[in-house]
Structure formats: C-alpha cells, structure tokens
Structure 1
C-alpha cells in the first residue's frame, strides 16, 4: 500500500463527521471551515493562517491520561504534533505522534474510534528561530487506550511523561468527553 499525504477532503470529512456529532461547536470551528473553503492546505505546516495537527488522548487501564512534558513549551501537554507526508489519516498521525513521543509500541495502543473525541483550536506564538509567524493549530484529538507502561521518550521533544487523573485537564469540555467515552 502506498502512503498518501492527508488531503483536504480527508480533513473536511473528519471535521464534518465531528460537527455532525457536536453541532454546538460549529462557531468554534468556523475558522477551520473558512480556510478549507478558501483552498488552504491545512495538512501543510507552512500554511500559517492555520494548519491541522494530530493529538492523542491516551487512557491507561485505570482511566488516567498520559501527559508529556514538552521541551519547546515547558508545559505538560497531551501527545501530538504536526502531520507528516507519510501519514494517511489524522487518526494514524495521532497514533504515530503518540508512539514517537512516548515510546509505547503501536501494537499495544487501541483507538477508541475513528472520529476525533475533540478538536481544539489554539494560537501558536511566532518562532523566529524557525522563521514561523504566529499562527493557529487545529488539533484533531483522538482517544486511545492501552495497558502498557511508558516507553523510551523522544528526548528531542519530550523531557518527561506521567499518568494523570482526568480532572487534571484544564479544559472542562474535554474532561467531560473523556469521562463519558471511558464509561
């Protein structure tokens, strides 16, 4: 099978399926739809009006959620990152980022479903070292489950990883979605 890059059609269909399930989020995601309608390539990290990223919400056997300490931001975050040319879906990209950053092998991680559990739009500061202006990330977050322990971390990007209670998540909306999905 030949890997194909993630297409505008895939991003649009994933977004549409998500909004069919969560129509109350239409106003929050209107900027993503406008960019798609304008022909923006949201799969490209050089699209500085905003681009898609893939995030992973990994629940352990006890229901705790894996967080990583991200070196660039100095913050505890959910695993995830930019799309790569070899990614053939947003779900696959989220799984790839999860295994790269945490060292947990793909064969011990199971996706909860094919659609994102949450889509987060957040600003990214300009990065003069990478010649990147301020822009937005449209983070398509997928829920995964595992019984595995944390593996060898990707030390270029991650300094630590820890399992945390769901209530440690700052986003109450995301927290409620995770709790509901894990029931």
Structure 2
C-alpha cells in the first residue's frame, strides 16, 4: 500500500512532539497535507510533496554525501517516494540503496522517526515538465559498519560523485548538530 496522508500526518506529529520548536517552520507541510490528502506522496503535487532522505553514518563519524546531477549540489541520498513504498522510512532506505548501492542489510535505522524534516523549494524543470514546487524531506538516520568506500555504487543518472564527510562539514542546521550528536553517540527519539 502506498504512503498515505495518514502515515505522513502521524510521522509529522510524532516528530513535532520531539521538536515542538519547529512547528512554525513546518506549518507549510501540515497545510499542504490538509489540502492535498494522499496526493502529498505524488511528485505531481506541485503545492509540495514528501520526499525521503538518508543520513548514513560510518563508525568513524563520517556521513555519506552525494553530488546530485541535476541540482549540482552535495546532498544526503534521497528522493521521491514511490507507489511501492509503504512508509517514509522504507522510502529513505530504498533511495539510499538505489543511489549508492549500499544494501539495506548493511545499515540499520537509528530510530523509526525522522531525525530531521526539511521544507525547501525546488525550481521548475521544463525538461521534466515540472513546475516549481516544494519538497518536504523526511530524513532518517542510519548507521553502518562499512568502512570501505568501494561499496558505493552510484546511480549515474542522478548522482555524479560521493564523499564521506565529517558531520561538522554539513552546513544546514539543525541537520548538522543532530548528525554530530549522533556521531558522538547521542540518542534520538524512537
């Protein structure tokens, strides 16, 4: 069963229970969710739609970043949800595997809840026939015991390069501080 508005609402509400200071910043997610219903999971919902991302930590505290081909930016692995995804966590794990080749049996989620939710604008893409819209990125934190970067098998249609960065190299807050805390062994809500 595809991701539903109810699942997105429950995930958002659980996240905001742990991060009430972000309620105003994420009010746009709630508003679009109220208006869009289940189409919140469709990439054709141009008021905004959910996406899923993965922050993958190695034992040495480095986090995997990828260079996104179309946006020409260094990002965490992630992307649009698909009809086969049943949860946002599943979507994040699928995207991690698709973009990097790192299999789900090589990682484990730190929590069943996202460790960060971000709402950000995406420019129009005339080549894809897409209007400007917003992504509501539900980001999950995973750990791996992998030490070898050779395990990364890039999805070349979307990703041009990868890098294992120390968490303090991330620039966006509160993403940076949360990944740094997890790298130091801090805990996240389950």
Q: Does the pair score TM above 0.5?
A: yes
Question: Residue 123 of structure 2 contacts residue 131 of structure 2 at CA under 8 Å; is this kept in 1?
Answer: yes
1:28-87 CA distances to partner (integer Å, 9 max, x unpaired)?
010111112224421011000000000000001101110001111111110000000100
Are 2:135 and 1:137 equivalent residues in the alignment?
yes
1:43 equivalenced with 2:30 (yes/no)? no
Residue pair 2:115, 2:140 contacting (<8 A) in 1 also: yes
In the alignment of these two chains, the number of paired residues is 180
1:1-183 alignment runs, 5 A limit? 4-40=1-37, 41-148=39-146, 149=148, 150-182=151-183, 183=185
Partner of 2:40, secondary structure, is coil
**TM-superposed deviation, 1:119:** 0.3
Counterpart of 1:38 in 2: which secondary structure? helix
Give the drift of 1:181. 2.7
Question: What does the per-residue CA deviation read over 1:127-150, in whole Å, with 9 as the maximum and x for residues that have no partner?
Answer: 001111100000000000112233
Deviation of 1:174 after TM superposition, in Å, equals 1.0
Q: Distance in 2 between matches of 1:5 and 1:64?
A: 32
Alpha-carbon distance between aligned partners in 2 of 1:15 and 1:168, rounded to the nearest angstrom: 27
Point out 4+ residue stretches in structure 1 off by more than 4 angstroms. Answer: none
Deviation of the 1:172 alpha carbon? 2.8
Structure 1 length-normalised TM: 0.95
2:134 aligns to what SS in structure 1?
strand
Q: Tell me how large the CA RMSD over aligned residues is.
A: 1.0
What is the TM-score normalised by the length of structure 2? 0.92
Give me the whole-angstrom Cα distance separating, in 1, the residues matched to 2:101 and 2:168: 25
